[in-house]
Chains A and B, each alone.
Chain A
Amino acid sequence: MGPEVKRPEDDSVIVTAQGRVIRLADLQRSLRRPRTLFSFLLTTLVTLMTLAALVPLFAVLYMLVVRGGRRLSVELFTSLPPVGLEQGGGIGNAIIGTVIMVALAALISVPFGILGAVFLAEFGPETRLAQAVRFCAKVLTGFPSILAGVFAYGAVVLLTGGFSAVAGGVALSILMLPTVMLTAEESIRMVPAKMREAAIGMGATPTQVAWHVLLPTARPGLLTGVMLAVARAAGETAPLLFTALGSNYWPIANGQPRLMQPTASLAVVIYNFSSQPYENQRELAWAAALVLVVLVLTTNLAGQFLSPKAGQR
């Protein structure tokens, strides 16, 4: 294709059927005409605004690397947070606490989300219940995260009599449920009808179709939904503030996770340390933010990489 493209002069003239010669340059509008100028100016404005909107992203990432990177060491991952004027310290317990609570939340929301999605996509897609469920899930997507915390406080903390990792997990699971359910429904619907019909033709029950055909085929989409939900839950602070509270101790004692005790999490550590007057704690807050962002972005990108849409692009 090389030679033709390299001589654009040949392309710039069109000879019409009537024999008139039109130069392509004549079809371009001069910038001196007000309409064209207006169009050009707005295009420039939109371009500048798009670039400006990306400034915070790079500013945040830059600050995280510069200020958080200073404290990256083995100590950060293996030791407990400092108290008061104590120097050094790390956020090991918060990392483990975050993992425990997100795992708990996934344990609750993934089965409910995926089986609910099987109902939505396969067993009763047009029923009134399905429409109500979809509506509720969409409303839950825009649900303020702090209200999930308020709910878990009322439903778990007041009931069991104390702040705990379980309460934090319940609060996070409410935020994960709609993401898991809606993406799972979409990916189950994307399974080709042929495959389902073939299975039905073999005499499989709807349950067998769901377990042996739909769910395995839709697995990449299901994983994407779960990863995106996990990424969101890991970064949430508000629902954990008064459900898991925070702690200066390890969430695992004698090899057993202490699920009914207050538990530290990365996000809450960042929040608490950011308001403290000590430079050591502030540095740790930046380091914790770096760890959290790396964790969240990796999960997020992994989820997008797995998604069935990624292959088409």
Chain B
Amino acid sequence: MTRIDDLITALTRTVGDRTVSYNSASAAWDVYEGYAFGLVIRAAVAAGGNVWYEDRFGNAATNLVFRTSPGMLYSVRQPYTHAVIDFRECPLLEAHVGVRVQGKSGVPRGTERGGLAAMSGHRSWTADRKARLADPQVARRAAEARAELDRHEQDYERTLTQLRNARRLTQTQLANMLGVSQAQVSRIENQADLYLSTLRSYIQAMGGELQLHAVFPDGQATAITVNELLEPDHAEPRNPDRAQEDDIHTAFALVHLDVGFYNAAEEEFNAASAA
């Protein structure tokens, strides 16, 4: 009897009464999905949501039953369960594990590997939303929440597609504004490298203004006026006496990107401004 024999015997004795039979890799993944579900519920509660559990038939549940592999939401083979999350001012949300979701393409995709689907489920989302928004107080709170969300959205970096979606515009609508085809808008959004003029037109069509910032290794940042980069001939003549700080920054960034020079010039500008 070697030391290894002793240890394996001890191991067999210790794990002998295991009640979880992970007899496939997918079973191990299921456990992780259960954990991810717990995280979603915790996040929902922390965000002020009320949570309860229901089975496929709308009965309250305390023993949660999920699918071992992605299945259809309407399956009645088992009393599969999900969490219902109520944020009051929003339609009821459901958190599922292992259901197939189907987008506009009509191709169902699994939410396996810890994936969860939060959706309106058995109810009609639109009808539910309309009914709730009929209450003026709910409508006001929803509008406030939307405005708050919009304010937060401005703080995040995002892709052109996300920008357009945030403005509630379709590719076709934006294409009409730009006078190009929808396919061209799609190309712009998926292009790795864009002309500044194309980007400016895209942003302007959404009612925005394109601004560029140069950030230097020492942490200094400066704005660059896009119009000057694109149309130097049409730029307004400079009048040093009336120069704004932004214009000075822009000029220095364009003329000389050397940080030392930039810092010295800015100090001079600040000293002159103070005087």
A and B bind: no
Residues of B within 8 A of A (CB): none
Residues of A near any B CB (own CB < 8 A) = none
